[in-house]
Amino acid sequence: MQNPVTRRQLMIDSAQGLGGMALASLLYQQGWSATKSPMRPVIDPDEPFASRQSHFPAKAQWVLMIFCSGACSQLDTFDYKPELIKRHGQPMPGAEKLVTFQGGQGNLTKSPWEFRPRGECGKMISDLVPHLGELADDLCFIHSLTGKTNTHGPGENFMSTGFTLDGFPSMGTWITWALGTENENLPAYVAIPDPRGTPQSSVNNWGPGFLPAAFQGTDFNATKPLRNLARPNSIDPQTDAKTRSFLQALNQTHLEQYPGDSELAARISSYELAARMQLSVPEVSDLSKESATTVAMYGADDAENPLKAAYARNCLLARRLLEQGVRFVQVFNGAYQTGGEGVSNWDGHKHLHEQYSKHGPVLDQPTAALLRDLKQRGLLEDTLVVWCTEFGRMPTFQAGASGRDHNPKGFTAWLAGAGVKAPFTYGGTDEFGYQAVENVATVYDFHATILHILGLDHERLTFYHNGIDRRLTDVHGHVIHDILT
């Protein structure tokens, strides 16, 4: 039999318990708590896309993500390695028998493009992207990102959703679920696929996963407008308007019969948004209203490079969507095509120089023009621009080939606009660009930082699913405070 608890012991235990509670409260307020309670958005079912407050004051209101599908090589764009140039043609020390995704590796291989100092900051950037190089003073580079996979589909999933598996919500879905949108006539989240098709992981990049489907990305581009949007020629505008009005009345009557049914209210709201989009989407997609000077700045009139012109029109569309208050715009540069290596994306295994020589100009001028345009219109003050890819490339060429294999051990992304320092460089890879060694950062850290700039605590933005409080950063991630203003 245990000894009974004395009154003295009871008082001591109680005092210790109260002290522990006070300490836990103090640590929590200072951000040192091991666990944090969820902060989920309160969504009005009658207005599910209405703008909502962030957890704390945000530095950015909108996000533009430019995703280079196919794993754009950091060593041929933004990560300058003098030692790689010096030891060109030599084996990589300690890695003579290294086997990566597609097999054995050959010798160290410098970039076919020269690196030059750019901007007032003198950042070394490749001649492959000279227009982006001119904007070096506006960019915040992270050279030490690391991934979890060396396969394209899972890699795209990881960058877009925080998980390598299918079925998880995209970053844009998390953000629009949390914050809503500033425009009630357009989707909160628009994904703009490359003119040649979708990325390898396709709709997973903008899918809702287990979050409400209303917050998934609506995908369309300047070449292929939103599907099933146009009014049939057999129905005149007056009849169409009267039909929508009648359906709205029926829906409202139906909703009154089931008060408090949030799912029904949200579904009706989605239908009403779809109806409003019949007018708003064609208007925002009408690039004929852009001046000839603006079109030329983007390269959207380049008859000699139709692929660049098509991507440039997508960049113009992105600016117009941000201008109208769309919360999250995701632009893809590169598409997946079966049947072998081509110039559809950045997957330069066999013929890197040939492929990148065609694909680099598609990305460079239009993307740089988009940044310039946002800046001159004042939109960059409230917009966070994110440039990323699913993983990096090897400093060696593959044995028997003239291209670089997959490499998730160290790669580059950059940010621009609201909330980040510029010009700024964070982290670094080793002397050859093989793996991150300085201020090593994960994709979880990258996501946590983006959410932080939007005023969202990545540890508290959660959704209860199958018995687990899920979040974009899983159970990982730290905000990279060093890059923040």
Q: Is residue 330 part of a domain?
A: yes
DSSP type of residue 170: -
Residues 6 or more apart in contact with residue 121 via CB below 8 angstroms: 136, 137, 423
Instruction: Give the domain CATH number at 395.
Output: 3.40.720
Query: How many Cα atoms occupy the beta-carbon half-sphere of 424 within 13 Å?
Result: 19
Rounded to two decimals, the pTM is 0.88
Which 3 state secondary structure label does DSSP give 77?
Answer: coil
With 90 as the cut, is the pLDDT of residue 240 above it? Answer: no
Domain that holds residue 346: 62-228+288-483
Confidence bin at 24 (pLDDT 50/70/90): very low
Whether residue 478 lies inside any domain: the answer is: yes
For the stretch 90-147, pLDDT in tens is 999 988 889 999 999 999 999 999 999 999 999 999 999 999 999 999 999 999 999 9
What is the number of other CB atoms lying within 10 angstroms of the CB of residue 175? 25
Any alpha helices (H) in 286-423, and if so which ranges?
292-298, 306-323, 352-376
Residue 339 lies in a domain: yes
**pLDDT tens sequence across 311-352:** 999 999 999 999 999 999 999 999 987 554 445 899 999 899
CB atoms within 10 A of CB 96: 10
Tell me, yes or no, whether 137 lies in a domain: yes
Residue-level pLDDT at 7: 66
* Higher pLDDT, residue 232 or 408: 408
The predicted pLDDT at position 188 comes to 95
Q: Give buried/exposed letters for 296-330 (b at 16+ CB in 10 A, else e).
A: ebbbbebeeeebbbbbbbbbbbbbbbbbebbbbbb
Q: What is the pLDDT of residue 342?
A: 47
Looking at the predicted structure, is the pLDDT value of residue 25 above 60? no
Whether the upstream peptide bond of residue 423 has omega within 30° of 0, thus cis, is: yes
Task: Give the C-alpha separation, 75 to 92, whole Å.
Answer: 15
Assigned domain for 3 exists: no
Instruction: Decide if 304 is inside a domain.
Output: yes
Is 25 contained in some domain?
Answer: no
Joined together, the tokens standing for residue 348 give 């330069």
Give CA separation, 121 vs 115, 134, 135, 422, in Å: 14, 11, 10, 10
How many domains does one find in the chain?
A: 1
Within a domain: residue 240? no
